[in-house]
Structure 1
């Protein structure tokens, strides 16, 4: 179950909160290869807002830029399954900071974090650090440069970090790959030659034939009978 701070629960009960979205992108600098971070939010002006770091769970203050930079974020379903969530983020095509993020930086597979901040309409401040609602990576970027009297924009299609859990490992079971992890691990040292070993089993000498399981033999027999 999701746990919310008492300040947010109290303000929600009084029905006096205003929600805003915060977007944090960690892209790659095309020149240096180093990570570059930039933040946007769905309101006006630039703010230094506290958010909860989804990796450490601690409060951090990050700069976010507004004034129409972040137009909309698809609804984010809160689920407890291992299903990969896909969302779209729409941003301004004419903002210089957005242009820098999607053109000057390499956003392919860039890290994306989306937070939901709840503001008090009286003090106009966050009642608690913004909560993380989505963590993932940029899968696709669509930049539309419009003609006269047409709409343009930037759309980021993002996949949640759950895809990393479902990603297959391309590594092979070999002595070389195992020793890359630990030079003293010799578990797979005989993998390439064990199939050629000849062993004695009673009076029989030679390679040991592999036997199919009883279930496999029954299936094969039934197919042959059909």
Structure 2
């Protein structure tokens, strides 16, 4: 069971009778396109750059800098009790310098992501940002608009656990893979050719 900060939970409860202004924080560990080294970047839905203490997935906390004025919007966070893979969408302004730095200056493919959220009341955050989602960037299309149109950047962030569970690994049934696990394992020795053989089993 997830236990939220008391002030955050109170603001969510009060939204039933009033309104709510969600605030999102997106942390992406992208890679430098030239060196391949990790190059983390933080974005949030506010208008100014901010440095704030964030809850870590391991239970600790860390101070991070988040860039603002990028029109960050998060949509699609769902909590389910089964193995349904529900990707989360993070949209950004195509013109924002921070967004340009993220998708054009760095490689976000399969980048590690954390999404935190809180609410905004009376010009101040109601609580420290609460961890909402952990995943990896699955897609990041850039929509370039025509004259008079609207463009944007939409990142699809999938649960890393669900992504791994849904992948097929044919290497698990190969002879080479079996022998790496145990050198005398010959269970898959003929797996590469047995499919092409035509045998009439009722004949000698």
1:128-143 counterparts in 2 under 5 A? 129-143=128-142
Matched, 1:2 2:6: no
Any idea what SS the aligned residue of 1:73 has? strand
Q: Whole-Å Cα distance in 2 between the matches of residues 49 and 2 of structure 1?
A: 22
**CA displacement 1:39-74 (0-9 Å, x = unmatched):** 1111210111222112x121222111112x133221
Deviations 1:100-139, CA, capped at 9 Å, x for gaps:
11011111111121111234526x1442x31121211111
Any idea what the Cα deviations from partners look like across 1:60-108, whole Å, max 9, x if unmatched?
22111112x1332213112232222212211010111211110111111
Structure-2-length-normalised TM-score: 0.77
1:37 partnered with 2:40: yes
For structure 2, list consecutive stretches of 5 or more residues without a partner in the other structure.
Answer: 190-204
Unmatched tracts of structure 1, length 5 or more: 179-187, 196-226
Aligned match of 1:192: 186
Q: Which residue of 1 aligns with 2:150?
A: 151
Q: Point out the more displaced range, 161-170 or 83-92.
A: 161-170
Higher CA-based Rg: 1
Report the Cα offset of residue 13 of structure 1: 5.2
Cα separation, 2, equivalents of 1:106 and 1:26: 9
Query: How far, CA to CA, are the matches of 2:165 and 2:3 in structure 1?
Result: 24
Matches of 2:63 and 2:126, distance apart in 1: 12
SS of 1:137 mapped into structure 2: strand
- After the TM superposition, which residues 38-53 of structure 1 pair with which residues of structure 2 at under 5 Å, given as runs? 38-53=41-56
Provide the C-alpha distance between the structure 2 equivalents of 1:78 and 1:64, rounded to a whole number of angstroms.
Answer: 26
1:72 is aligned to 73
More deviation, 26-35/159-168: 159-168
Contact kept? 2:31, 2:106, Cα under 8 Å: yes
Is this contact kept in 2: 1:26–1:36, CA < 8 A?
Answer: yes
Alignment RMSD, CA only? 2.6
The size of the alignment, in residue pairs, is: 181
